[in-house]
Amino acid sequence: MSHATHANAALTPRARLKLARLIVDHGWKPARAAERYDVSWRTAKKWADRYQAEGPAGMVDRSSAPRQQPNRTPAPVVRKIVHLRWKQRLGPVEIGDRLGMPSSTVYAVLVRCRLNRLTHIDRTTGEPVRRYEHEKPGDLIHVDVKKLGRVPDGGGWRYVGRKQGNRNRAATPDLPRNRWRNPLTGTCYLHTVIDDHSRVAYVEAHNDETKETAAAVLRNAVAWFADRGVTVQRVISDNGSCYKSNLWKQTCSDLGITPKKTRPYRPQTNGKIERFHRTLAEGWAFKKFYNSESARLAALPAWVHEYNHHRPHSAIGKATPITRLDNLAGHHN
Protein backbone atom coordinates (compact mmCIF):
# COMPACT_ATOMS: atom_id res chain seq x y z
CA MET A 1 0.00 0.00 0.00
CA SER A 2 1.17 3.52 -0.77
CA HIS A 3 -0.51 5.12 2.26
CA ALA A 4 1.76 6.91 4.72
CA THR A 5 2.13 5.30 8.13
CA HIS A 6 1.96 7.13 11.42
CA ALA A 7 5.47 7.94 12.69
CA ASN A 8 5.00 5.92 15.92
CA ALA A 9 3.12 2.97 14.42
CA ALA A 10 4.50 -0.49 15.28
CA LEU A 11 3.22 -2.02 12.04
CA THR A 12 3.06 -0.89 8.44
CA PRO A 13 -0.31 -1.25 6.68
CA ARG A 14 1.09 -4.30 4.83
CA ALA A 15 2.14 -5.98 8.11
CA ARG A 16 -1.22 -5.19 9.69
CA LEU A 17 -2.96 -6.91 6.79
CA LYS A 18 -0.78 -10.03 7.12
CA LEU A 19 -1.39 -10.15 10.89
CA ALA A 20 -5.15 -9.73 10.47
CA ARG A 21 -5.34 -12.43 7.82
CA LEU A 22 -3.52 -14.89 10.07
CA ILE A 23 -6.23 -14.40 12.69
CA VAL A 24 -9.33 -14.05 10.49
CA ASP A 25 -8.50 -16.20 7.46
CA HIS A 26 -6.17 -18.80 8.98
CA GLY A 27 -7.65 -19.16 12.45
CA TRP A 28 -4.62 -18.10 14.51
CA LYS A 29 -5.21 -17.00 18.09
CA PRO A 30 -4.68 -13.24 18.54
CA ALA A 31 -1.99 -13.91 21.19
CA ARG A 32 0.00 -16.12 18.82
CA ALA A 33 -0.24 -13.63 15.94
CA ALA A 34 0.72 -10.82 18.31
CA GLU A 35 3.84 -12.72 19.38
CA ARG A 36 4.75 -13.32 15.74
CA TYR A 37 4.67 -9.58 14.96
CA ASP A 38 6.01 -8.44 18.36
CA VAL A 39 2.92 -6.39 19.29
CA SER A 40 0.39 -6.57 22.12
CA TRP A 41 -2.61 -8.88 22.13
CA ARG A 42 -4.91 -5.83 22.04
CA THR A 43 -3.17 -4.46 18.94
CA ALA A 44 -3.50 -7.77 17.12
CA LYS A 45 -7.19 -8.02 18.06
CA LYS A 46 -7.82 -4.41 16.94
CA TRP A 47 -6.45 -5.01 13.43
CA ALA A 48 -8.24 -8.33 13.12
CA ASP A 49 -11.57 -6.75 14.06
CA ARG A 50 -11.01 -3.88 11.67
CA TYR A 51 -10.06 -6.26 8.83
CA GLN A 52 -13.19 -8.29 9.45
CA ALA A 53 -15.35 -5.14 9.35
CA GLU A 54 -13.68 -3.13 6.57
CA GLY A 55 -11.38 -5.48 4.68
CA PRO A 56 -7.90 -4.39 3.47
CA ALA A 57 -9.05 -0.74 3.31
CA GLY A 58 -9.27 -0.68 7.11
CA MET A 59 -5.54 -1.21 7.53
CA VAL A 60 -4.56 2.43 6.92
CA ASP A 61 -4.20 5.05 9.66
CA ARG A 62 -7.25 7.02 10.64
CA SER A 63 -7.23 10.71 11.46
CA SER A 64 -6.28 11.44 15.06
CA ALA A 65 -8.52 14.52 15.07
CA PRO A 66 -11.40 14.38 17.57
CA ARG A 67 -14.65 13.14 16.11
CA GLN A 68 -16.43 16.23 17.39
CA GLN A 69 -14.67 19.54 16.81
CA PRO A 70 -15.32 22.21 19.46
CA ASN A 71 -17.77 24.85 18.32
CA ARG A 72 -16.11 27.72 16.49
CA THR A 73 -16.92 31.26 17.50
CA PRO A 74 -19.95 32.45 15.45
CA ALA A 75 -19.16 34.83 12.58
CA PRO A 76 -21.07 37.84 14.05
CA VAL A 77 -19.02 37.55 17.27
CA VAL A 78 -15.79 37.29 15.25
CA ARG A 79 -16.76 40.51 13.46
CA LYS A 80 -17.26 42.28 16.80
CA ILE A 81 -13.88 41.05 18.08
CA VAL A 82 -12.11 42.20 14.91
CA HIS A 83 -13.85 45.57 15.05
CA LEU A 84 -12.85 46.22 18.67
CA ARG A 85 -9.27 45.15 17.96
CA TRP A 86 -8.91 47.10 14.73
CA LYS A 87 -10.75 50.28 15.64
CA GLN A 88 -10.09 50.57 19.38
CA ARG A 89 -6.90 48.48 19.68
CA LEU A 90 -8.24 46.63 22.73
CA GLY A 91 -6.58 43.52 24.15
CA PRO A 92 -8.16 40.05 24.63
CA VAL A 93 -9.07 40.71 28.29
CA GLU A 94 -10.83 44.01 27.53
CA ILE A 95 -12.61 42.58 24.48
CA GLY A 96 -13.68 39.50 26.45
CA ASP A 97 -15.04 41.72 29.23
CA ARG A 98 -17.08 43.78 26.76
CA LEU A 99 -18.50 40.78 24.93
CA GLY A 100 -18.94 38.56 28.00
CA MET A 101 -16.66 35.76 26.81
CA PRO A 102 -13.34 34.19 27.91
CA SER A 103 -10.22 36.11 26.93
CA SER A 104 -8.68 32.82 25.75
CA THR A 105 -11.44 32.51 23.13
CA VAL A 106 -10.90 36.11 22.05
CA TYR A 107 -7.17 35.48 21.74
CA ALA A 108 -7.75 32.36 19.61
CA VAL A 109 -9.92 34.40 17.23
CA LEU A 110 -7.28 37.17 17.06
CA VAL A 111 -4.59 34.61 16.22
CA ARG A 112 -6.78 33.08 13.52
CA CYS A 113 -7.39 36.53 12.00
CA ARG A 114 -3.71 37.50 12.46
CA LEU A 115 -4.60 40.37 14.74
CA ASN A 116 -3.01 39.01 17.93
CA ARG A 117 -0.16 41.53 17.70
CA LEU A 118 -0.79 45.24 17.38
CA THR A 119 2.21 45.46 15.07
CA HIS A 120 0.21 43.32 12.63
CA ILE A 121 -2.35 46.10 12.43
CA ASP A 122 -1.28 49.68 11.91
CA ARG A 123 1.09 51.29 14.32
CA THR A 124 0.90 54.93 15.30
CA THR A 125 3.72 55.66 12.88
CA GLY A 126 1.67 54.27 10.01
CA GLU A 127 4.43 51.75 9.21
CA PRO A 128 2.96 48.24 8.95
CA VAL A 129 5.24 45.24 9.43
CA ARG A 130 4.52 43.64 6.07
CA ARG A 131 3.80 46.03 3.22
CA TYR A 132 3.03 45.39 -0.40
CA GLU A 133 2.80 47.95 -3.16
CA HIS A 134 1.72 47.58 -6.77
CA GLU A 135 4.28 48.57 -9.36
CA LYS A 136 2.43 51.26 -11.33
CA PRO A 137 -0.33 53.82 -10.70
CA GLY A 138 -3.70 52.35 -11.64
CA ASP A 139 -2.64 48.71 -11.11
CA LEU A 140 -4.95 48.66 -8.10
CA ILE A 141 -7.23 51.21 -6.45
CA HIS A 142 -8.82 50.79 -3.02
CA VAL A 143 -12.40 51.94 -2.42
CA ASP A 144 -14.37 52.28 0.81
CA VAL A 145 -16.94 54.43 2.61
CA LYS A 146 -16.14 56.49 5.71
CA LYS A 147 -19.18 57.45 7.79
CA LEU A 148 -19.21 60.68 9.80
CA GLY A 149 -21.94 62.26 11.90
CA ARG A 150 -23.03 65.57 10.36
CA VAL A 151 -22.17 68.82 12.11
CA PRO A 152 -25.29 70.67 13.42
CA ASP A 153 -25.62 74.42 12.91
CA GLY A 154 -23.62 76.10 15.67
CA GLY A 155 -21.11 73.26 16.00
CA GLY A 156 -20.93 69.68 17.24
CA TRP A 157 -20.46 68.31 20.75
CA ARG A 158 -16.72 67.69 20.32
CA TYR A 159 -16.08 71.43 20.47
CA VAL A 160 -19.09 72.93 22.26
CA GLY A 161 -19.85 70.11 24.73
CA ARG A 162 -22.74 67.66 24.94
CA LYS A 163 -25.29 70.08 26.34
CA GLN A 164 -24.74 72.84 23.77
CA GLY A 165 -24.29 70.25 21.04
CA ASN A 166 -27.77 68.85 21.76
CA ARG A 167 -29.21 72.38 21.67
CA ASN A 168 -27.53 73.07 18.33
CA ARG A 169 -28.87 69.84 16.92
CA ALA A 170 -32.39 70.66 18.06
CA ALA A 171 -32.15 74.13 16.47
CA THR A 172 -30.85 72.88 13.11
CA PRO A 173 -33.73 72.99 10.56
CA ASP A 174 -34.89 70.10 8.36
CA LEU A 175 -33.21 67.33 10.37
CA PRO A 176 -34.72 63.82 10.37
CA ARG A 177 -36.15 62.63 13.69
CA ASN A 178 -36.16 59.31 15.48
CA ARG A 179 -39.21 57.50 16.88
CA TRP A 180 -39.15 59.73 19.97
CA ARG A 181 -39.12 62.87 17.78
CA ASN A 182 -35.53 63.69 18.77
CA PRO A 183 -33.56 65.31 15.94
CA LEU A 184 -30.86 63.29 14.20
CA THR A 185 -27.92 65.04 12.60
CA GLY A 186 -27.69 62.24 10.06
CA THR A 187 -24.65 60.71 8.43
CA CYS A 188 -22.21 61.96 5.85
CA TYR A 189 -20.92 59.13 3.64
CA LEU A 190 -17.46 59.82 2.27
CA HIS A 191 -16.77 57.58 -0.72
CA THR A 192 -12.97 57.37 -0.83
CA VAL A 193 -10.63 56.02 -3.48
CA ILE A 194 -6.86 55.48 -3.02
CA ASP A 195 -4.35 54.51 -5.69
CA ASP A 196 -2.24 51.68 -4.27
CA HIS A 197 1.10 52.75 -5.80
CA SER A 198 0.99 56.53 -5.42
CA ARG A 199 -1.45 56.93 -2.47
CA VAL A 200 -3.23 59.65 -4.47
CA ALA A 201 -6.75 60.07 -3.04
CA TYR A 202 -10.14 60.90 -4.58
CA VAL A 203 -13.07 61.69 -2.27
CA GLU A 204 -16.79 62.43 -2.78
CA ALA A 205 -19.28 63.24 0.00
CA HIS A 206 -22.80 61.78 -0.34
CA ASN A 207 -25.97 61.20 1.66
CA ASP A 208 -25.95 57.43 1.23
CA GLU A 209 -23.87 54.36 0.38
CA THR A 210 -26.20 52.76 -2.16
CA LYS A 211 -24.96 50.69 -5.07
CA GLU A 212 -25.93 53.49 -7.47
CA THR A 213 -23.82 56.04 -5.59
CA ALA A 214 -20.86 53.66 -5.29
CA ALA A 215 -20.97 52.89 -9.03
CA ALA A 216 -21.18 56.58 -9.93
CA VAL A 217 -18.20 57.39 -7.67
CA LEU A 218 -16.17 54.65 -9.35
CA ARG A 219 -16.93 56.07 -12.80
CA ASN A 220 -16.01 59.57 -11.65
CA ALA A 221 -12.80 58.40 -9.99
CA VAL A 222 -11.69 56.41 -13.05
CA ALA A 223 -12.30 59.48 -15.25
CA TRP A 224 -10.42 61.68 -12.74
CA PHE A 225 -7.40 59.37 -12.80
CA ALA A 226 -7.61 59.10 -16.62
CA ASP A 227 -7.31 62.89 -16.85
CA ARG A 228 -4.00 62.49 -15.02
CA GLY A 229 -2.71 59.78 -17.34
CA VAL A 230 -3.60 56.81 -15.13
CA THR A 231 -5.51 53.77 -16.43
CA VAL A 232 -7.19 51.82 -13.64
CA GLN A 233 -6.78 48.03 -13.95
CA ARG A 234 -8.21 46.62 -10.70
CA VAL A 235 -10.34 47.79 -7.79
CA ILE A 236 -10.45 46.22 -4.32
CA SER A 237 -13.29 46.73 -1.85
CA ASP A 238 -14.64 45.17 1.30
CA ASN A 239 -17.76 43.01 1.26
CA GLY A 240 -20.24 45.86 1.77
CA SER A 241 -23.59 45.41 0.05
CA CYS A 242 -22.97 48.18 -2.49
CA TYR A 243 -19.79 46.40 -3.64
CA LYS A 244 -21.43 42.98 -3.87
CA SER A 245 -24.19 44.19 -6.19
CA ASN A 246 -24.58 43.24 -9.84
CA LEU A 247 -24.48 46.96 -10.69
CA TRP A 248 -20.96 47.18 -9.22
CA LYS A 249 -19.82 44.15 -11.23
CA GLN A 250 -21.40 45.56 -14.40
CA THR A 251 -19.81 48.99 -13.86
CA CYS A 252 -16.40 47.38 -13.41
CA SER A 253 -16.97 45.37 -16.59
CA ASP A 254 -18.00 48.49 -18.54
CA LEU A 255 -14.83 50.25 -17.38
CA GLY A 256 -12.58 47.27 -18.12
CA ILE A 257 -11.65 46.89 -14.44
CA THR A 258 -11.22 43.65 -12.49
CA PRO A 259 -13.12 43.79 -9.15
CA LYS A 260 -11.48 42.18 -6.12
CA LYS A 261 -12.67 41.67 -2.53
CA THR A 262 -10.80 41.81 0.76
CA ARG A 263 -10.61 38.67 2.88
CA PRO A 264 -13.35 38.51 5.53
CA TYR A 265 -12.20 39.63 9.02
CA ARG A 266 -8.88 40.86 7.60
CA PRO A 267 -9.05 44.68 7.61
CA GLN A 268 -5.29 44.75 6.92
CA THR A 269 -6.06 43.85 3.30
CA ASN A 270 -7.53 47.31 2.84
CA GLY A 271 -5.10 48.88 5.31
CA LYS A 272 -4.03 51.75 3.05
CA ILE A 273 -7.52 53.19 2.85
CA GLU A 274 -8.13 52.54 6.58
CA ARG A 275 -4.99 54.56 7.30
CA PHE A 276 -6.16 57.31 4.93
CA HIS A 277 -9.48 57.50 6.79
CA ARG A 278 -7.61 58.11 10.03
CA THR A 279 -5.56 60.87 8.39
CA LEU A 280 -8.77 62.32 6.94
CA ALA A 281 -10.45 62.39 10.36
CA GLU A 282 -7.45 63.91 12.13
CA GLY A 283 -6.48 66.36 9.41
CA TRP A 284 -9.89 67.55 8.24
CA ALA A 285 -13.07 66.20 9.88
CA PHE A 286 -12.14 66.85 13.54
CA LYS A 287 -9.11 69.09 13.21
CA LYS A 288 -10.92 72.34 13.93
CA PHE A 289 -14.26 73.84 14.84
CA TYR A 290 -16.89 73.93 12.06
CA ASN A 291 -20.12 75.80 12.71
CA SER A 292 -22.11 73.71 10.20
CA GLU A 293 -21.90 70.64 7.98
CA SER A 294 -21.72 72.81 4.86
CA ALA A 295 -18.70 74.63 6.32
CA ARG A 296 -16.90 71.35 6.91
CA LEU A 297 -17.70 70.02 3.45
CA ALA A 298 -16.54 73.29 1.89
CA ALA A 299 -13.10 72.66 3.41
CA LEU A 300 -12.83 69.11 2.03
CA PRO A 301 -11.54 69.81 -1.54
CA ALA A 302 -8.71 72.02 -0.22
CA TRP A 303 -7.68 69.36 2.30
CA VAL A 304 -7.65 66.58 -0.36
CA HIS A 305 -5.53 68.83 -2.61
CA GLU A 306 -3.15 69.47 0.30
CA TYR A 307 -2.93 65.71 0.94
CA ASN A 308 -2.21 64.85 -2.70
CA HIS A 309 0.09 67.73 -3.64
CA HIS A 310 1.82 69.03 -0.52
CA ARG A 311 1.71 66.58 2.40
CA PRO A 312 4.81 64.31 2.66
CA HIS A 313 3.72 60.67 2.91
CA SER A 314 5.85 58.52 5.24
CA ALA A 315 5.04 55.27 3.41
CA ILE A 316 6.50 56.51 0.10
CA GLY A 317 9.73 58.02 1.37
CA LYS A 318 8.14 61.31 2.47
CA ALA A 319 7.31 62.20 -1.13
CA THR A 320 3.93 63.71 -1.98
CA PRO A 321 1.49 61.24 -3.56
CA ILE A 322 0.99 63.24 -6.77
CA THR A 323 4.71 62.98 -7.63
CA ARG A 324 4.29 59.22 -8.11
CA LEU A 325 1.86 59.58 -11.02
CA ASP A 326 3.63 58.72 -14.29
CA ASN A 327 2.23 61.59 -16.35
CA LEU A 328 4.09 64.30 -14.42
CA ALA A 329 7.26 65.50 -16.12
CA GLY A 330 10.41 64.34 -14.37
CA HIS A 331 8.64 61.64 -12.40
CA HIS A 332 8.70 58.66 -14.76
CA ASN A 333 9.73 55.37 -13.19
Backbone angles phi, psi at 191, to 5 degrees: -85, 110
Instruction: Please check whether residue 127 lies inside any domain of the structure.
Output: no
- Describe the strand order of the beta sheet including 201-206 as a list of residue ranges: 201-206, 187-195, 141-149, 234-237, 258-261
Quote the longest CA-to-CA distance of the chain: 97
Is residue 20 in a domain? yes
**Which of 1-10, 111-120, 181-190, 269-278 shows the lowest per-residue confidence on average (mean pLDDT)?**
1-10
Best-predicted range by mean pLDDT (59-68, 141-150, 244-253): 244-253
Q: Are residues 146 and 279 in the same domain?
A: yes
Q: How many domains in the chain?
A: 3
Residue 28 lies in a domain: yes
Which residues, 6+ apart, have CB-to-CB distance to 325 below 8 Å? 137, 195, 198, 200, 228, 229, 230, 331
Q: Is residue 264 part of a domain?
A: yes
Q: Classify residue 330: in a domain, yes or no.
A: no
* 319 shares a domain with 190: yes
Examine the domain organization and report whether 39 and 88 are in the same domain: no
What residue numbers bound the domain in which 105 lies? 75-120
Question: Which tens digits make up the pLDDT trace of 315-333?
Answer: 777 888 998 885 444 444 4
Same domain, 219 and 313: yes
- 230 within domain boundaries: yes
pLDDT at 326: 58
% of the chain beyond a pLDDT of 90: 37
Within-domain flag for 30: yes
Of 186, 189, 161, 160, nearest to 172 by C-alpha is: 186
Residues 25-49 pLDDT 10s: 999 999 999 998 888 989 999 999 9
CATH, residue 219: 3.30.420.10
Q: Which residue has the higher pLDDT, 142 or 285?
A: 142
Q: Is residue 225 part of a domain?
A: yes
pLDDT at 124 over 50: no
Q: What is the average pLDDT value for the chain, to the nearest integer? A: 81
Which residues sit opposite 260 in a β-bridge? 236
Indicate if the pLDDT at residue 1 is higher than 50.
no
Residues 225 and 319 in one domain: yes
Question: Do 32 and 98 belong together in one domain?
Answer: no
| Contact assessment for residue 255 and residue 232, using Cβ atoms and an 8 Å cutoff | yes
Residues 41 and 146 placed together within one structural domain of the fold: no
Pick from 196-200, 257-261, 269-273, 274-278: least confident: 269-273
Pairing mode of beta strands 258-261, 234-237? parallel
Residue 116: per-residue pLDDT: 80
Neighbour count for residue 107 (Cβ, 10 Å): 17
Both 219 and 286 in a single domain? yes
Asked if residue 305 and residue 197 are part of one domain, the reply reads yes
Answer whether 47's CB lies under 8 Å from 30's CB.
no
Q: Tell if the pTM clears 0.75, that is, is over it.
A: no
203 and 274 fall within a common domain: yes
> For 79-102, what is each residue's pLDDT tens digit?
899 888 877 888 888 899 889 999
Q: Are residues 245 and 275 in the same domain?
A: yes
116 and 196 share one domain? no
**What pLDDT digit, counting tens, does each position of 152-177 carry?**
766 655 655 666 656 656 656 665 55
